[in-house]
Amino acid sequence: MTVSRRSLLAAGALAAPFLLLGRKSSAAVRPNVLFIASDDMNNNLGCYGHPLVKSPNLDRLAARGVRFDRAYCQYPVCGPSRVSLLTGLRPDTTRVFDNQMAVRDTLPDAVTLPQLFRANGWLSVRAGKMYHMDVPGSVGTDKWDDPPSWDIAISPPGKEQHTAGKGRNITAGKRARWEYVAFEGDGKDQADERATEIAIETLSKNRNRPWFLGLGYLRPHLPHVAPARFFDLYPLGSIEPVVNPPGDLDDIPLASEIAINTRARDMGGMSETDKKEAIRAYYASASYMDWQVGRVLEALEKTGQAARTVVVFWGDHGWHLGEHHRWHKRSLFEESMRAPLIVAAPGRKGNGQGCRRLVEFVDIYPTVAELGGLKLPAELEGQSLAPLLGNPARAWKAAAFSVVTAPNGIVGRAAVTERHRYIRWSGPHPDEELYDHQTDPREYTNLAREARHAETLGRMRKVLEAGWKAARARV
C-alpha cells in the first residue's frame, strides 16, 4: 500500500518493539542492507569501462566493492526478472513469465529476500520500484507489489512524460515510443527524486536498528526524463550510434525476431539524428539515476552507517541501444541478458576489484542473506557469491542461464559459458544460435549454421540440457 511521509516518520517508534522480540544479538552487529535497483539499466556505466557515460557515484561504489562484469538476469523482462531475483528462484520455478503477475500469484508461500530480513528483525522499507511497476502507467501505485516483504512500502508518484521541459517522442507514428524530456532543476515532481528523499529519511531516522532498504529507481527506463544538465553532458556530436554489419539479421532465427517484434528493425526506421537523440536521452537518464544514488551514499556516510551497511546495486536486465537493430530488452543477446551488479560489503578482501566470473541474479538472494548472517531457505536456486567477494578471481560457475517466452508458445533458452552463448528456440519455429565471444564479442555470426562448429554446438547443447545444477561452482 502507499504510505505517507508522516507514516514513515512514525514508523521508527512502531517498529522498535518488533525488533527486540526474540533477538539474542544487538542491532549493532547486524548489517544494514541498502538494496538499489535501476530499471532497464545496461552496462553502459563508467565503472564498466564505457568511454562516454558519466556515473561518478556508481564508479566510487564499485571502487569500494566488487563489480561483477558478467552478471546475467534469468529473464530479460522486468517483472519475471525481479520476481526471480527477490525469491532466489528461477522462472521455471516461479512460473512468472510476464509483467502482469505478482509473486503470490504463483508462489503464495514464498519467503522473499526483504521478507526474510523482516522476519529476522530488520526494518524492511521499500521506496520506489522493487517488484514490477508499469512505467509510466502505474508509477505511484502498488499494483504488483508484495506486502509481506515490507514494514513500510512507498510508491512515490511522478510526472514522467508530462514534466514541463524540452523533448519529443522520437518514434512518433511508429510502433514503439521513445520519448524524452529535459527539464530545469532537480526534479521535485519526479518519482526518483522522492524515492531518494524517502531513503535518506529512512536511514537518518533509523541509525540504531538494522534496516533493509529496497530503493528502486525508474531511470533510465522510458520515458527518459531528466534534468537538462544531464543531457548537456552528452552533445549529439559526441554520440556514435552502433553500426551493425550488413546482413547482421540474416542468420537470426524467426523465433528471435518474433520475441522482440515490436522493438526490432530500428523501431520502424530511425534517422541517424533520431538514434543519437535516443542514446543521449538514455545516457542522461542513467546519469540522473547515478546522481540520486550518490545523494543516498553521501547520507549513509554522514550518518556514520557506511561501515556497517552492505550496498548492492543492480539493474533488472540489460537494454539494446541499436545492437542488432534493436532498441529494447526481451532478447537473449548479451546486451539484454547482462546487467550491472555491484556488491559493496565492508571488510571483504575482494573490494575494489572487478570479477569476470559468470554469476546470475538468482545468486543475489543467498549472497545478501549470508552477508546478513541469516539461514538460507533450502529451496533457493542460486549460489551465494560470498566466496567471490573474498577472491574475485577464483573458479566459479560453468554457465549462466536465461529464458524468454513469446506469443504462440515460443520459448527461448540461453546458456552462457566463459566463451560461448548458445540459444535454443522451441515452439512453432524451432531453431538454434551459437556465438563465440572470443572471435565475435558482438554476436554477429550465428555459428549454429556452420557444420565446422558441430562439436562446439553439441557441447553447448549438453550444457543447456544439464542445467543450472550441473553448472554450480564447487565451494
**Which of 132, 224, 320, 328 is the catalytic position?**
132
Is residue 223 within 8 Å of residue 160, measured between CB atoms? yes
* H or E element at residue 6: helix 5-20
**All three cell numbers of 400:** 549462466
Q: Comparing C-alpha atoms, which of 89, 136, 138 is closest to residue 112?
A: 89
List strand residue ranges (DSSP E) for 4-44, in order. 32-38
Map residue 206 onto helix, strand or coil: coil
Buried/exposed 119-144: b ≥16 CB within 10 Å, e otherwise: ebbbbbbbbbbbbbbebbeebeebeb
* H or E element at residue 310: strand 309-315
Q: Quote the CA–CA distance of 437 and 451 in Å, as a whole number.
A: 18
Query: Is 132 labeled as catalytic in the residue annotation?
Result: yes
Query: Is 78 labeled as catalytic in the residue annotation?
Result: yes
Phi, then psi, of 39 in degrees rounded to 5? -90, 125
Q: In what order do the strands lie in the sheet with 224-227?
A: 166-169, 179-183, 224-227
Instruction: Report the chain's terminal Cα–Cα distance, integer Å.
Output: 41
Q: Comparing C-alpha atoms, which of 107, 86, 146 is closest to residue 362?
A: 86
How many CA atoms does the CB half-sphere of 353 hold within 13 Å?
14
**Which of 47, 73, 78, 355 is the catalytic position?**
78
What positions carry a catalytic annotation? 78, 132
